[in-house]
Structure 1
Amino acid sequence: MAVRQRVVIGEEATYVVLDRQWRVVEPVEVYLEYLRQEKYSPNTVRLYAYGLAQWWSMLEDRGLDWRRVGVDDLASFVRRLRNRGSDPTVVALRPEKAAASSTVDVSLTSVLSFYRHHAIVTGVPAARQFYEHVKGGSMEAHRRYASFLGHLGGGQDRRVIGRRRDPKAPPPFLTPKQVAVIKDDAGRFESGAGWRGDLRLRLFWTLLEETGLRLAEALLLRHRDWQPGTGTTAFLEVQPLEDRRRRLRVKNQRYRRIYLSDELDDLYGEYLFLLVEQGLDVQDDLPVFVNLYRGEFGRPLRPETVYDWIDGFKKRHPLLPGAWTPHWFRHSHATALLLAGVPEHVVQRRLGHSDIHTLLTTYAHVTEDAAMRAAADWKSLVARWGAAA
């Protein structure tokens, strides 16, 4: 069967797909190289390589030519994915749990994108069977986002094999009390004794709490990106950075500015004093979060170190949600802002979502509750209409 293989060239890691003879699958490599040249996220390359390895395995099992496949083959592929790679025509005595719809959709998307690319680059016509063209005059065409490498003419391409997603649950979040426990476990200020524990991690969790930064965005911050408040409001700049060695990348590769509270800025100042006391030469290009107690001193902090601390924390505090991750701070930040009545477009800009629909879809339960609370005061709304008249 075909497999996805991780390859390290110098300090950069990427993925290729190998067939059952352990040869690089050339058509897949052409497409993956396109993704690399277009600066797609390494995680996207990894996921698409996995989906295409599954597709190539099915082609090998059935003796199919990748250039001469049809909608029936694509439908069989989806059934195979849902059956976790086994032949859907064979009834298993002990069937495994079906794969999640989101997992299936990622692999399906990788195959569809692969064929759309080859439809233009090498002229393979299979992609024409996988899409139907919606005329530009229809309302549905205007509502849909145009996928890359689409038709140059008017209208829109729509999948023949549609998506089927699991019901989307509200994103998990941490309560203020739970956040306080996490921060105090990392580091706590004691009167007369100063800071106890790891002030660096105290700053890290406070930063995620107050800004909603993603883990990669926080770990890629440099001291030059943090603009202290000197008579004005402090802010930090999220730069479109990438560190392939640590497998970190700012999502969407877009710049944004986030304003900070005085308390968070003061905590950063105390952290700077700690770095100087530790003998670290604080340069503008030095990452804000570095190794202080394990690993090579002064080197950039790795995600693995953060997750190792989380594992230890969960053992010390088994009553807190066992599944929490740094991304829960982002959900908590967005939920708090929306519940406080901050306009959706402001929350979108602060979180760095490229599309406001992402925010409205992810936090629909919050925005809907806010709308329902406003509608509950219908008497005041009606009174305003009378006053306006």
Structure 2
Amino acid sequence: MKVQRIRLPGDSLTWIVLDQDHLPIRPIQSYLHYLQNLEYSPNTIHNYATHLKLFWEFLQQVQLDWQRLTLEHLADFIRWLRWPHIKVIPLQQQSARRSERTINTILSAVCGFYEYQERVARIDNLKLHRLQFQPDQQYKPFLHHLKQDKLVKRRLLKLKDPNYLPRILTPDQIKQLVASCQCGRDQFLIALLYETGMRIGQALGLRHTDIRSWDNEIVIVPRRDNTNGVRAKTLQSYTIHVSKQLMQLYAQYLSTEYPEVDSDYVFINIWKGRIGQPMTYSTAVDLMRRLRKKTGIHVYAHLFRHTHATELIRNGWDLSLVQKRLGHTSIQTTANTYIHLDDADLKKAYQQYLEQQEQAK
């Protein structure tokens, strides 16, 4: 059983799950086709395919028909994700193979799959959710008390996810990573991700027309036709203001390394062989892997986004401004993801409080 990438008419990419006979598993194929019609990104479809492949391996191991699933079976699946050998009871305590957050992500894919199958009447009503009033949110908008409570669907089975503090990079680590890049293109990419908080798909999909160097602005434009398969994720365009130093890196990259090719992409391959082709996700992953090996810093593209957002909040930015800069559709997403105070933050806030008290005297 494997997840296979395929190319569809029109040169678009998607994913399917093959069984032991190298044939598509039809229920999964139908659901992934449904997600593709809803214009989910290829990366998202790949993740769903990978999660459903795991679920199908579990069904085969326990010899269970996917159309006869119960909550008890789904609970067994959770245990299987932690310890795949469900018939073996370990005598010593062992660490789980997957974290609570990973298991909840897999469960979301499985529940979405069964919701779709219910809608197309391939299975009877399977009660994987319950209706309940929306709980109090961490961030409450203005006049929230006038808003009527709404019933929302909650999964019956969900592991409690520990609240981990997002790891961020220090200023010295940022300088070290930029200095370790072998070319100006990579230096500009790292500096861009750090200073703007862009997602890697947004950066790799940038066109030269999106960069307004005279105003130190970069426009994030959602596009579905990027030849390198990247997505901006957001559905609306928005503008990010940047520094003159970042624009100088961009100008230096264009003047010294950008080849004479007919391309409107900002980030392209500058080496022989595929010169002029827009950078892909895999190329960016390879860059992060080289930087990890060279610096010893466990870095990945999204870590720059965490770092940028955390620095903005620690420097007193209003949450609504951070939301706009990151391109979040909901301020609740910004609050849940980035408002995590540690002891250093509390100490700094208390010192500021004491200074204000002294000045008031």
TM-score by length of 1: 0.78
Shift in Å at residue 74 of structure 1?
1.2
Q: Distance in 1 between matches of 2:286 and 2:60?
A: 41
Shift of 1:55: 2.3
Residue 270 (structure 1) aligns with: 252
Is 1:77 matched with 2:55?
no
Q: Following TM superposition, by how much is the alpha carbon of 1:326 offset from its aligned partner in structure 2, in angstroms?
A: 2.7
User: Following TM superposition, by how much is the alpha carbon of 1:37 offset from its aligned partner in structure 2, in angstroms?
Assistant: 0.4
Shift of 1:354: 2.6
Q: Which residue in 1 is equivalent to 2:115?
A: 116
**Structure 1 unaligned runs (5+)?**
145-153, 187-196
Percentage of identical aligned residues = 29
Contact 1:211–1:333, Cα closer than 8 Å, also in 2: yes
Considering only aligned residues, what root-mean-square deviation do their CA atoms show, in Å?
3.2
SS in structure 2 of the partner of residue 241 of structure 1: coil
**Partners of 1:335 and 1:366 within 8 A in 2:** no
What count of residue pairs does the alignment treat as equivalent?
348
1:43 equivalent in structure 2: 43
- Partner Cα separation in structure 2 for residue 234 and residue 244 of structure 1: 24
Partners of 2:221 and 2:237 within 8 A in 1:
yes
Change (3 A) 1:266 1:175: same
TM-score by length of 2: 0.83
SS state of the match for residue 106, structure 1?
helix
The equivalent position to 1:288 in structure 2, one of 250, 266, 270, is 266
Q: Which residue of the partner structure matches residue 189 of structure 1?
A: none
- Structure 1 position 228 matched with structure 2 position 213: yes
Identify the range of structure 1 (111-120 vs 55-64) with the bigger mean alpha-carbon deviation.
55-64
- Name the CA shift for 1:36/1:263 in 2 (closer, same or farther; >3 Å): same
SS in 1 for 2:321: helix
CA-CA distance at 1:59 after TM superposition: 2.9
User: Please, which runs of 5 or more residues in structure 2 have no aligned partner?
Assistant: 139-149
The secondary structure found in structure 1 opposite 2:67 is coil
Aligned residue for 1:15, secondary structure, equals strand
1:163 aligns with 2:159: yes
The corresponding residue for 1:241 is 223
Corresponding residue number in structure 1 for 2:176: 181
1:3 Cα shift? 3.9
Shift of 1:375: 5.3
| 331, 334, 339: which one aligns with 2:306 | 331
Q: Tell me what 1:148 maps to.
A: none
CA offsets 1:53-109 (integer angstroms, 9 cap, x no match)? 2222333344433222211111111111111x32x2322579674322222112211
Distance 1:101 1:294 in 2: 44
The answer to whether the 8 A contact 1:239-1:254 is kept is: yes
Note if contact 2:4-2:18 (Cα within 8 Å) is conserved in structure 1: yes
User: Is 1:347 the equivalent of 2:342?
Assistant: no
In the alignment, which residue of structure 1 is the partner of 2:124? 125
Query: For residues 109 and 67 of structure 2, what CA distance do their matches in structure 1 show?
Result: 16
The verdict on how the C-alpha distance between 1:31 and 1:302 changes in structure 2, with shifts beyond 3 A counting, is: closer
Distance, in Å, in 2 between the alignment partners of 1:171 and 1:42 is 26
Q: Counterparts of 2:354 and 2:180 in 1: how far apart (Å)?
A: 48
Counterpart position of 1:150: none
Give the SS at the match of 1:342. Answer: coil
- Three-state SS of the structure 2 residue aligned to 1:237 is strand
2:234 counterpart SS class: helix
